[in-house]
Amino acid sequence: MSDELSGKVALVTGAARGIGQASAIRTARAGANVVVSDILEEEGGQVVEMIKEAGGAATFVRADLSHEEEISGLINKITSDLHRLDGAFNNAGVLQHGKSLHELATEEWEKVINIDLTGVFLCMKYEIMAMLDRGVGGAIVNTASALGQVAITGASEYIAAKHGVLGITRAAAAEYGAKGIRVNAILPGIVETVARQTG
């Protein structure tokens, strides 16, 4: 444990597994009070227990990022219960395997866009509102992908979403940097997570 982020409150979405889980644990080790959010309640609760057993502070809040009211409710709960939001890692996302563009059903396209892009937009919207209300700035990191800059076959919906995440990240960084809110993205390559294995 360290005190690098002592006194800070940080949200990590998609925190039950993989990159999100590792990030939530690392953020707690740096001293932040971490809000672990996911649709997987049991696994999210286990992450909270791991953090607490290591001497950190964490709570679990379930949220389905395909629904705006759940995202606004998540941020409202954080600001109501913990009275601040200093940082957020918008990591939740979905993968689908291997269909060419002409084979995609509209609902398959919308599922990925709604969570991987619109979900990031909505998280940022309510996170930024909370940070502006406090007036002391904050930091937001979005999970994009190496596929946000290149293309492969059989992943058009995912590639479109991740290109969009990079675009909205750049736009928000330009708009809110002067207000003390830093917005960045990470672009991981292939990471062997449960989400990648199961789609």
Catalytic residue list: 158
Residues 12-63 pLDDT 10s: 999 999 999 999 999 999 999 999 999 999 999 999 999 999 999 999 999 9
**Is 147 in contact with 162 (CB distance < 8 Å)?**
yes
Average pLDDT over residues 137-148: 92
User: Residue 191's pLDDT is what?
Assistant: 54
CA distances from 23 to 89, 92, 154 (A): 8, 12, 29
Is 104 domain-assigned?
Answer: yes
Is 2 domain-assigned?
Answer: no
**Is 61 in contact with 74 (CB distance < 8 Å)?**
yes
Is 139 domain-assigned?
Answer: yes
Is 93 domain-assigned?
Answer: yes
Is the whole model's pTM more than 0.85, yes or no? yes
Is 78 domain-assigned?
Answer: yes
Domain with 146 in it: what CATH number? 3.40.50.720
User: How many domains does the chain divide into?
Assistant: 1
Residues 74-85 pLDDT 10s: 999 999 999 999
Closest CA to 49 of 25, 26, 30: 25
**Is 74 in contact with 101 (CB distance < 8 Å)?**
no
For residue 18, the enclosing domain spans 9-198
Residues 150-177 pLDDT 10s: 888 889 999 999 999 999 999 999 999 9
Is 1 domain-assigned?
Answer: no
Is 62 domain-assigned?
Answer: yes
